[in-house]
Chain A
Amino acid sequence: MSADIHALLGAYVLDAVDDIERAAFERHLRECAECREETDDLRSAAARLADGTWSVPPPRLRENVLATITATRQLPPVSAPVPVPARRPAPGWRRLTAAAAVVLAVGGSVAVVQEQRVRREHTAAVTAQAAEARIKAVLTAPDLTVREQTLSNGGRVTVAMSPLHNAGVIMLAADSAPSAGRVYQLWTVAGGIPASAGVLVPGQTAYAQIVEGMSGVSDVGVTVEPPNGSAQPTTTMLADLKLT
Chain B
Amino acid sequence: MTEYSAGRRTDHLSAVPGGRAGPDESDLLGAVAAGDEKAFATLYDLVAPRVYGLVRRVLRDPGQAEEVAQEVLVEVWRTAARFDPARGSATSWVFMIAHRRAVDRARSEQASADRTFRTGSSQIDTPYDAVADEVAGRLERQQVRHCLDGLTELQRQAVVLAYYQGNSYPQVAELVGATLPTVKARMRDGLIRLRDCLGAGVRA
Contacts and interface: CB of A to CB of B under 8 A. Distances in A.
Given A61-B70, A75-B78, A54 B170 contact: no
Contacts of B84: 84, 91-94
B114 A55 contact: no
Interface in A113-170: 116, 150, 154-156
A72 B77 contact: yes
A43 B92 contact: yes
Contacts of B138: 52
A72 B190 contact: no
Interface residues of A, number: 78
Contacts of A204: 115
Contacts of A68: 70, 74
Interface in A84-100: 84, 86-88, 91-94, 96-97
B18 interface: yes
B48 A61 contact: yes
Given A40-B13, A73-B78, A51 B172 contact: no
Contacts of A190: none
B92 A47 contact: yes
B70 A65 contact: yes
Given A6-B4, A43-B88, A52-B145, A57 B194 contact: no
Contact of B118 (A7, A38, A104, A177): A177
A57 B48 contact: yes
Nearest to B189: A10
Interface of B: 2, 4, 6, 9-10, 13-14, 16, 18, 33, 35, 37, 40-41, 44-45, 48-54, 56-57, 62, 66, 69-70, 73-74, 77-84, 86-89, 91-92, 95-96, 98-100, 103-104, 108, 111, 114-115, 118-121, 135, 138-141, 143-145, 158-159, 162-164, 166-170, 172, 181, 183-192, 194-195, 198-199
Given A7-B2, A54-B49, 13 more contacts: A45-B195, A46-B191, A55-B49, A56-B49, A62-B44, A69-B37, A69-B77, A74-B35, A75-B79, A75-B82, A93-B84, A154-B120, A205-B114
